[in-house]
Structure 1
Amino acid sequence: MLLRAALLLLVLLLPTLSARAGQLDRAALEKYFPPPLVVGEKDDRLPVWPILKQQAGAYEVFAYAFESVDLAPIPGFGGTPPDLLIALAPDGTFRDVKVIAHHEPVFLEGLGSEPLFAFVEQYAGLSARQAIRVGRPNARAAGAAPQTTVDGISMATASTRVINQSILASALAVARAKLGFGAANVGLKVEARADLYEPLTLADLVARGWVGRLTVTNAHAASAFKGTGVEDRAEGRPDAVLTDLIVAYLNVPTIGRNLLGEVRYDALMRELGPGNHAVMVISAGPEDAPENPIGDRFVLGAVPERLAVGQGGLIVNARDMAVERRDAGRAEGLPPGPWTILRIDQAAGFDPSAAWVLAETIVRERGQILSEKIARAFPVETKLPADLFTRVRPEDGPNWTDPWRARGPELGLIGLMLAVLVPVLSRQRGLVADGRRFALFRLGFLALTLGFVGWYAQAQLSIVTLVGLVRAATVSHDLAFLLYDPPSLVLWVFALAALVAWGRGTFCGWLCPFGALQEFVALLARPLRIRQLAVPARLDRALRPVKYVVLVGILGAAAAGSPLADTVSEVEPFKTAITLSFVRSWPFVAYAAGLLVLNLFVYKGFCRYLCPLGAGLALLGRARILDWIPRRAECGSPCQLCKVRCRYGAIAPSGRIDYAECFQCMECVTIIHDPEQCVPQVVARKRAHRAAPRPVTVG
């Protein structure tokens, strides 16, 4: 009846609830971007706000601001997407990331939101062109690449992966629309083939188009500046050279080794590092060329003001490498003029196997009092053959595949545990029939459940997942959040399959870490001389429905979009005792500890009377197809041994098993297969012994 009421409530609420949208207007954004920054007009096609900054008398785009929930509403483990304010610079780097709202259970009244705030701050300065991954806590300090890795948060691995995916997916949506690049090159790794080398002269390389040459004469400049009033500023003949540059991509051995020599090339590649790129620019014009950008004013180690590398209509960040100029070892035949080697970092998303340009900007001034600067760019394109490179595409598939690969060892051990558990429970005349050996096996398995599944793998199943499912059904209509926590998902699939075969008890009695913790605490009752209480039958019957009322209340609040769902879910102590290992504020610790103390007197009282997850599993377990616990005709009448021994109260006086309350401890199965314990077998054996003729002594 209670389940029908909960389902009816969900059906009624489904049409009225819609997916969340961004909540920030111009006034709210101005608080995040105060003067001298200015919030521009919201884009007509995309929910993006340009953030402007005054530069040289004009406003330039400082960043594009947007909310992740508008562009990538990926549900978190609370069932609703996190809402993040992201500021993306025109070059594709993150200016800032802020948390606007979230419903991640591990941070709500758990770790607190501060670790989450610190987590998203790591994205400032990283590039959306890179495939950024969440590492382990302190991964950067341990040597992980700081350009492609952010430190994870202990006990919040799955939630941080959802946050990371939300940031990257929404940023790439903006990048495709505003910055001219998208997901195609994110994570793409292009490297020059080291095994290809051919001795060639500079003239050969230029003839093949592998080395570019940019020559700008007075006539070319006049044509570019035509109509501006400054086209005739150059002195000399029309064919006089203003600038003459040689441009070469050095990573390719046939280019770099021929231009630099083998020793200098090898040294440069070591200094450059894997994944990065080097472009050489040499001035080949006369020393007095008026527009030479690499003259005496060039600052070593700086970003050249008048030189720019571009690809796909986007400027690529390139900086002088400050290579030692003395004894540089340049090959013979190169012009003697000034030169630079520009470094392009891997994070820039530069693809040397595709066409790219180097452009020199020439600036002229017009007017004497209020002068106006007029600039024109003169590009030279380089297109190298694709077979000079190896290209490694980003791994196919959505980013939820990353945690499955990263947690492979944990999944392997969990799979082994389940593979061992199934035959042990299904072949009852094997290990289960031996009371002593089975008791040792059960304690060992529960120790793995508590220590490995719970505290290490963080795979404690919880009502929070059901809350997330309800919110996904009513708000986001997306169940992808389940894929970011592989161990929990595997256990959910197994638990649901076990419901059909055996009922609730497989999870509650074997795979619940908090349930295992209660069983170990209960072992202290005997040495502490604590006598566990038997709950009177009438009180037991009155208390059992409470967990169903709690379940309906939580799911109803979730369906109604009420934050009470998160609050009431704290009736579960799982987050405190297992996920956070009791590292939490004292009221939550006191509550969890109180339930464990109660367990010393009333065996698994929380599981039997309060647990909403257990209630949900018990309801679903009514689809069970097997009555798998063996019974005898004498069970219940006259034998009551199994009923007396059952600490869960799952056996009725008639001997019938109440599978909704059975925790599959298997003690009754051990008894019924043990001829020394099972009363009908003991009685039958005694009767047979009395009926047998006794030997008579003849004197």
Structure 2
Amino acid sequence: MRRDGASCTTPTSGSSPSRSGLPDLDRQGQISGKPRDLWGGEARREPNRSPGSRLRHLRPLIGALWAILVAAVPALAGTLDRAGIERHFPTPLVVGERDDKIPVWPILKQEAGSYEVIAYAFESIDFARIPGFGGTPPNLLIALAPDGSFRDAKVLSHHEPVFLEGLGSEPLFAFVEQYVGLSAKRPIRVGRPGARANGAPPATTVDGISMATASTRVVNETMLAAALAVARAKLGFGAGPAGLRVEAKPDFEPLSVAELERRGWIRRFTLSQAQADQAFAGTGVENADPGDEPFTDLRIAYLNVPSIGRNLLGEAAFARLMRELGPGDHAVLVVSSGRWSPIPEDFVLGSIPDRLTIQQGGLAVNARDAAWERRDLAPALPAGPWTIVKITEAAGFDPSASWTLALRLTRERGQILPEKIAREIGTDYALPPELFLRQAPDAGPDWTESWRARGWELGVIAAALGLLVPVLARQRGLVAQARPFSLLRLGFLAFTLGFVGWYAQAQLSIVTVVGLVRAAFHTGDLGFLLYDPPSLLLWAFVIVTLGVWGRGTFCGWLCPFGALQEFAALAAKPLRIRQVAVPPALDRALRQAKYVLLALILGAAALGSPLADSLAEAEPFKTAITLYFLRSLPFVVYALGLILLNLFVYKGFCRYLCPLGASLAVLGRLRLLDWIPRRPECGSPCQLCKVRCRYGAIAPSGRIDYPECFQCMDCVTIIHDPKQCVPQVLARRRARRTAPQRVAAE
């Protein structure tokens, strides 16, 4: 296809020939009119602040939030009409009549006096509405050739925060262009950046993008799910049970391996060396070293059927496998013996096998190694390499219909810069339909892979949160010991910055709140949250702790940028930088700025305005944490400026500008407990805690301003320390003075 930006005239449209540039995708992820080529502890309640009074105080806010949640959600659909499609497929191509059943446009080319369909063009949002991290699904224009290959692919719109004013949209454009020439008949995975240059099979792998792993997975799933739906409807591929879930019946019959093979429930496939050589006939590499044993000898079994899986794995292992599979998922066992194995020695558990593919209806089924612990199988099976591959529900796999296990054999020709030649040899597998039940599936994207791939990160973060809760809750424990608690706090903040922020990329952001608002108004789908497991785990923890401690747990302990500011503030003392005392009246006014900014962001998001993404850039999180300061100069200067401001006005950004902190402060007003202990002397006459509070969260009266409290616990340490708490110090002094008088009197 041409990529010169010209439009075309179709014989069915009646329009005259015209030329126009392709619409440009601007930084906000929307189509603009500018022409551009897109191809290229202790608790105490204050008597006057009951939970009921708090709820009454926040009733208007709760009503507004409820209105957002119950707002009508318009359906999403493609945006291109005939003229829009014609701009993307210029002459000599011709856009035919749109299909009367599904939103697909045939793309024609004149050959020998007649028009031939060379592709079907469609928008992904009509077939796969998988929300990204901006809360809305990416929309891709895809052209699928009749042989199932991607003839063209480009981004029409997106709201992925990491690309908007971050990495820029260009890396996303280049990522999607990698699909051109690949086949929807084969599973396509997202590899590491530069994966194909480092030896990954170019026919099955696209290069990922650093710092955008979750977003590229959303785009990859969108691309494949939409292509699969069109392939089933228009190309005759994968004519499986779209709209149906096929599951194995729970019936069990004890059977030996020999009986399973006799019934065909275990498929044995033996390939001789001569047969392997014959597949390469005429290539110059058909002659290989002969051997007495088979080239490969495989046993293949579908494990979801209890009479197969339980007999091969044992009852306990089979039950564990079924628990690990998601609803609608499938597991296939492949056991190998012989000279060649489809499971090589360097095979990585959990990866997509390169040497074997499961196919059904002419399409490859997306299958991945289930990372199953390698243990002994049934004694009657060979002791060679084996794998259990998992097929997710999204693949539309029908285990009750015949399917094919295809082996990919590769040989090299030539000594210098050898050429790789690949051939596929397959064997069919089929089970009796009476072993299965058919039922309607639950719609939804496959997000479980992200959770399993990041399981160890989730475990580390969960362990850290499990440590944090008792430390903060037991105020007379470690918190009361100033020096040990200070060291613990610095260590935890280092973990938050290094692991949670820079490594796990789990910096919470107002962008997620924007996505929730957009989902409420435009998509109704919160599935985008499931593609970032560490962040979702932190969100769940933060929401729970909002009802106990308020905003401070996140802002004081779990915010990577907040931790970065605290470490930067440590340099103020050796540099002899004195903190600026903001006048109380100005301080109160500045604290309202973050609430105004929050209202503007949420209002823009509710109206569907891209201004929400621009206003969200008030957060420096993307620059400092997500992108490691590798960003355009204005954003880097802004982030560094806030860190520099922090040396003079402690956590000035958090106190005055942070929209995420504002949202947590608002929700934190629903807190049920006033958990910071107070004494009658607090505020009058003692002002020690107020003077020591660097956040200005303690009023002269001694009252704690919880929406502004960052849970540093300094005041808690003071009030439990008899050497620091002024009322306790004075009480001890009085006791020492009165003791001699009592002795003399006696």
* TM-score normalised according to structure 2 size: 0.67
Distance, in Å, in 2 between the alignment partners of 1:25 and 1:552 is: 36
Q: Call closer, same or farther: CA 1:270–1:320 in 2, change over 3 Å.
A: closer
Compare 108-117 and 53-62 and name the one that shifted more. 53-62
Give the 5 Å matches for 1:81-96: 81-96=137-152
- C-alpha contact 1:404 1:486 (8 A) present in aligned 2: yes
- Alignment equivalent of 2:589, drawn from 529, 532, 542: 542
CA deviations 1:588-626 (Å, max 9, x no partner) are 111111111111111011111111100100111111112
- Alignment equivalent of 1:275, drawn from 342, 356, 363: 356
Kindly report the root-mean-square deviation, in angstroms, between the aligned alpha carbons of the 2 structures.
4.2
Q: Which amino acid aligns with 1:410?
A: E
Give the 5 Å matches for 1:504-523: 504-523=551-570
> What's the secondary structure of 2:151's corresponding residue?
strand
- Alignment equivalent of 1:492, drawn from 514, 517, 539: 539
Q: Does 1:105 align with 2:146?
A: no
Aligned to 1:70: 126
Q: Call closer, same or farther: CA 1:417–1:585 in 2, change over 3 Å.
A: same
Aligned to 1:266: 295
> What's the secondary structure of 1:252's corresponding residue?
strand
Give the 5 Å matches for 1:592-607: 592-607=639-654
Give the 5 Å matches for 1:385-424: 398-424=445-471
- C-alpha contact 1:518 1:596 (8 A) present in aligned 2: yes
Q: Call closer, same or farther: CA 1:511–1:316 in 2, change over 3 Å.
A: closer
- Alignment equivalent of 1:123, drawn from 174, 179, 204: 179
Q: Which amino acid aligns with 2:236?
A: G
Q: Does 1:552 align with 2:599?
A: yes
CA-CA distance at 1:176 after TM superposition = 1.8
Aligned to 1:39: 95
Q: Call closer, same or farther: CA 1:474–1:449 in 2, change over 3 Å.
A: same
- C-alpha contact 2:405 2:428 (8 A) present in aligned 1: no
Aligned to 1:461: 508
Q: Which amino acid aligns with 1:352?
A: D
> What's the secondary structure of 2:155's corresponding residue?
strand
Aligned to 1:430: 477
- C-alpha contact 1:576 1:592 (8 A) present in aligned 2: yes
Compare 563-572 and 312-321 and name the one that shifted more. 312-321
Q: Call closer, same or farther: CA 1:571–1:320 in 2, change over 3 Å.
A: closer
Calculate percent identity across the aligned residue pairs: 68
Distance, in Å, in 2 between the alignment partners of 1:426 and 1:183 is: 58
CA deviations 1:645-666 (Å, max 9, x no partner) are 0011111111111110000000
- C-alpha contact 2:556 2:710 (8 A) present in aligned 1: yes
CA deviations 1:384-427 (Å, max 9, x no partner) are 999xxxxxxxxx98421111111112111111110111111011
Aligned to 1:244: none
Q: Which amino acid aligns with 2:211?
A: M
Q: Call closer, same or farther: CA 1:569–1:255 in 2, change over 3 Å.
A: same
> What's the secondary structure of 2:120's corresponding residue?
strand
Q: Does 1:139 align with 2:157?
A: no
> What's the secondary structure of 1:595's corresponding residue?
helix
- C-alpha contact 2:357 2:406 (8 A) present in aligned 1: no
Aligned to 2:609: 562
Q: Does 1:654 align with 2:735?
A: no
Q: Call closer, same or farther: CA 1:6–1:31 in 2, change over 3 Å.
A: farther
* TM-score normalised according to structure 1 size: 0.72
Distance, in Å, in 1 between the alignment partners of 2:727 and 2:276 is: 95
CA-CA distance at 1:38 after TM superposition = 2.1
Distance, in Å, in 2 between the alignment partners of 1:626 and 1:251 is: 67
Q: Does 1:344 align with 2:453?
A: no
- Alignment equivalent of 2:717, drawn from 670, 675, 679: 670
Distance, in Å, in 2 between the alignment partners of 1:320 and 1:434 is: 66
Q: Which amino acid aligns with 1:570?
A: E
Aligned to 2:333: none
Distance, in Å, in 2 between the alignment partners of 1:79 and 1:594 is: 30
CA deviations 1:539-584 (Å, max 9, x no partner) are 1111111111110100000001111101111111111111111111
Aligned to 2:270: 252
- Alignment equivalent of 1:609, drawn from 635, 656, 662: 656
Distance, in Å, in 2 between the alignment partners of 1:675 and 1:114 is: 61
- C-alpha contact 1:353 1:385 (8 A) present in aligned 2: no
Q: Does 1:448 align with 2:495?
A: yes
Q: Which amino acid aligns with 2:572?
A: A
Q: Call closer, same or farther: CA 1:120–1:3 in 2, change over 3 Å.
A: farther
Q: Call closer, same or farther: CA 1:549–1:690 in 2, change over 3 Å.
A: same
Distance, in Å, in 1 between the alignment partners of 2:578 and 2:239 is: 64
Q: Does 1:684 align with 2:740?
A: no
Q: Which amino acid aligns with 2:617?
A: E
> What's the secondary structure of 1:636's corresponding residue?
coil
Distance, in Å, in 2 between the alignment partners of 1:342 and 1:165 is: 26
Unaligned runs of 5+ in 1: 189-194, 197-207, 210-248, 279-311, 325-340, 355-383, 387-395
Distance, in Å, in 2 between the alignment partners of 1:259 and 1:608 is: 72
- Alignment equivalent of 2:429, drawn from 322, 342, 353: 353
Q: Call closer, same or farther: CA 1:267–1:430 in 2, change over 3 Å.
A: closer
- C-alpha contact 2:73 2:523 (8 A) present in aligned 1: no
Q: Call closer, same or farther: CA 1:254–1:521 in 2, change over 3 Å.
A: closer
Q: Call closer, same or farther: CA 1:318–1:36 in 2, change over 3 Å.
A: farther
Compare 438-447 and 122-131 and name the one that shifted more. 122-131
Q: Does 1:622 align with 2:703?
A: no
Distance, in Å, in 2 between the alignment partners of 1:258 and 1:26 is: 50
Q: Call closer, same or farther: CA 1:397–1:272 in 2, change over 3 Å.
A: farther
Distance, in Å, in 2 between the alignment partners of 1:322 and 1:138 is: 24
Distance, in Å, in 2 between the alignment partners of 1:110 and 1:319 is: 40
- C-alpha contact 2:130 2:222 (8 A) present in aligned 1: yes
Aligned to 2:47: none
Aligned to 2:85: 29
- C-alpha contact 2:690 2:702 (8 A) present in aligned 1: yes
- Alignment equivalent of 1:177, drawn from 199, 224, 233: 233
Q: Which amino acid aligns with 1:129?
A: K
CA-CA distance at 1:73 after TM superposition = 1.7
- C-alpha contact 2:71 2:520 (8 A) present in aligned 1: no
Distance, in Å, in 2 between the alignment partners of 1:316 and 1:678 is: 74
Compare 426-435 and 685-694 and name the one that shifted more. 685-694
- Alignment equivalent of 1:581, drawn from 628, 648, 651: 628
CA-CA distance at 1:20 after TM superposition = 3.3
Distance, in Å, in 2 between the alignment partners of 1:509 and 1:9 is: 26
Q: Call closer, same or farther: CA 1:637–1:28 in 2, change over 3 Å.
A: same
CA deviations 1:243-296 (Å, max 9, x no partner) are xxxxxx995359988999964952898689632699xxxxxxxxxxxxxxxxxx
Unaligned runs of 5+ in 2: 1-56, 247-256, 279-289, 298-337, 343-354, 360-400, 414-420, 434-442
Distance, in Å, in 1 between the alignment partners of 2:628 and 2:468 is: 26
Distance, in Å, in 2 between the alignment partners of 1:352 and 1:317 is: 9
Give the greater-gyration-radius structure (CA): 1
> What's the secondary structure of 1:692's corresponding residue?
helix
Aligned to 1:333: none
Aligned to 1:338: none
CA-CA distance at 1:136 after TM superposition = 2.5
Q: Call closer, same or farther: CA 1:317–1:90 in 2, change over 3 Å.
A: farther
